[in-house]
Amino acid sequence: MTEEKAFLYSAEAPSDEQKQRFTSFLKKKYGQDIELEWVCEAALDKGFKLVVGSEEYDWSRQGLYEQFIHSFNKEKKAGKELIPLIKEELQEWDVKALPAERGTVVTVGDGIARVSGLENAEYGEILIFDCGVRGMVLDLTEETVGCVVFGDDQEILAGSKVRRTSRTASVPIGKGYLGRIVDALGSPIDGKGVIPVEAYRPIENKAPGIIERKSVNRPLETGILSIDSMFPIGRGQRELIIGDRQTGKTAIALDAIINQKGKDCICIYVAIGQKTSSVAQLAENLRKHGALEYTIIVAANASDAEPMQYIAPYSGCAMAEFFMEKGKDVLIVYDDLSKHAVAYRSISLLLDRSPGREAYPGDVFYLHSRLLERSARLSDEEGGGSITALPIVETQDNDVSAYIPTNIISITDGQIYLESNLFFSGQRPAVNVGLSVSRVGGDAQTKAMKKAVGTLRLDLAQFREMEVFTQFSSDLDDVTKNQLTYGQGLMKMLVQPQYKPYSLHQQVIILISSLAHALQHIKIEDIYQFNQELLAHFEKDYRDLCQSIDDKGIFTEEEKETIITYAKNFAEKFHV
């Protein structure tokens, strides 16, 4: 400490005795004589502020209140009643001379502030500017710290004062957030009033360790036949949805959310860099299908600053962890991480970090790995809750070898690849069966689905190969024609409208019927209609069998023969 002058701010001038006490405190604290200068500040009608270099001792009403709140939040214990806990804290609280570091804004612009004087600031710490705006430390150098500003930086000027809070960024959460739309800081933006807060959680949190985790073996059904049958998603898994713009990526995530109705699964949708109108439309669609009541929408829209888009997925994940630790299953969608990486790139370039491949900073891989690693299925000792992540990544011209897609592919447990050509040809969802994969596989399938899917992937692979081989041939034998017709029927069988998720028994019936060649003589364009009518009639005539498949997740060989026989008989009567 080399400061030679300290400033005492108060409404009234200190007496000689008070000056002597302040001088003695400064010498004892800093080990040297420091000149004390009084500055009149009428706003401090009670108490005072003592500023020594970059450190501030705030004994005003506001300062003491903040010191008590900090002590209370640090020491409070879960499970205690609030009022007795406050009384207990007040009785035991000891007012201390705690220094609060103060810094000075050197430069500000584009949502980034450079601050000097904060020698002990930590990465991720929240700072408060004298105008009330908050920021977060994202860059540490020898002379200054780089801070992203949460809000309008117009009120921040060079020379403005900044103080540390010694707290990392946190987000409020509680059951009241279900059915609401909030921003990246947890503040409601849907115009429905204040949300009751149960707890605050840091947006950055350590991922569960190996001992705390449990194997992924319980299915999280999306209701989408092509996914649940061939690329199953388990509770606690991270499955990437990847494809070009406008290929139905969000539609798959939306259907997965809608399919969780009545399954005791909390859903969180994080919108990053999207239009406000798109988020409003998505919320309305969820409301229409009864899914908004168990869903939280965290929106950092395209009009919001990059820092808000940067912290949005971490805030959403912190909210998911709140429910996971209570033993709940959570499905979280990050839509999309391409825009998240772009926002982080913008921040990093403004912080003068060295650009690497595609101008992204070198730690962009860590950006997403520390987010997605927080998805897990906890062991029974930890409550047994889970977070299942569906990150979305947008590619350019089907290029999955770009920097961000390859990074996230290596982090996740598989990917659902949506192809533009399939989408525009009417194959929706446009899942490319060859490039999509689930590294959890059959472990996350029910026995009924595993048994019903049979040789579907192999049959589709043979069809794709034969289709390419015969596309220039005009003279085909009957066997080849039948194989092509069968393959086209399987592709058409996988076509499914949006907002129409299938239940387990519906998927099983369709798969068993199709793989048994019951649809062989149905026109390709009539297959979807045939399947819908087949399901309706089957559910009417064999309601108990349908209920048994849904409840037990298994069927017998006799029940399989019943489905095949019924489907073939129904196919003969179809359109007759």
For residue 423, give Cα distances in angstroms to 29, 248, 333, 559.
70, 8, 22, 35
For residue 325, give Cα distances in angstroms to 80, 81, 212, 380.
18, 21, 11, 11
439 catalytic, yes or no?
yes
336 upstream amide cis, omega within 30 of 0: yes
With beta carbons less than 8 A apart as the criterion, state whether 460 and 254 touch. Answer: no
What phi, psi does 323 have (nearest 5°)?
A: -75, -35
Beta-bridge partner residues of 221: none
The amino acid at 554 = I
At 35, is the secondary structure helix, strand, or coil?
Answer: strand
With beta carbons less than 8 A apart as the criterion, state whether 408 and 366 touch. Answer: no
The rounded distance, in Å, linking the Cα atoms of 205 and 315 is 10
Max CA pair span of the chain: 110
Helices (H), 103-174: none
Cα-based angle 464, 465, 466 (whole degrees, multiple of 5): 95
Tell me how long the chain is.
576
Q: What is the dihedral of CA 318, 324, 325, 328, to 10 degrees?
A: 150
Beta-bridge partner residues of 80: none
What phi, psi does 423 have (nearest 5°)?
A: -65, -45
E-strand spans in 3-124?
A: 5-10, 35-40, 49-52, 55-58, 100-109, 112-116
Residue 445 burial by CB count (10 A; 0-12/13-18/19+): exposed, middle or buried? Answer: buried
Two tokens at 219? 């299915």
Select which of 167, 439, 457, 464 is catalytic.
439
Two tokens at 542? 């064999």
Q: Which of 160, 158, 173, 172 is nearest to 127 (CA)?
A: 160
Two tokens at 205? 């949190």
Give the count of beta carbons closer than 10 Å to the beta carbon of residue 574: 16
The rounded distance, in Å, linking the Cα atoms of 120 and 444 is 47
Radius of gyration of the chain (CA): 30
Give the count of beta carbons closer than 10 Å to the beta carbon of residue 79: 5
Give the count of beta carbons closer than 10 Å to the beta carbon of residue 37: 9
Cα-based angle 390, 241, 433 (whole degrees, multiple of 5): 130
At 85, is the secondary structure helix, strand, or coil?
Answer: helix
Active-site amino acid positions:
439
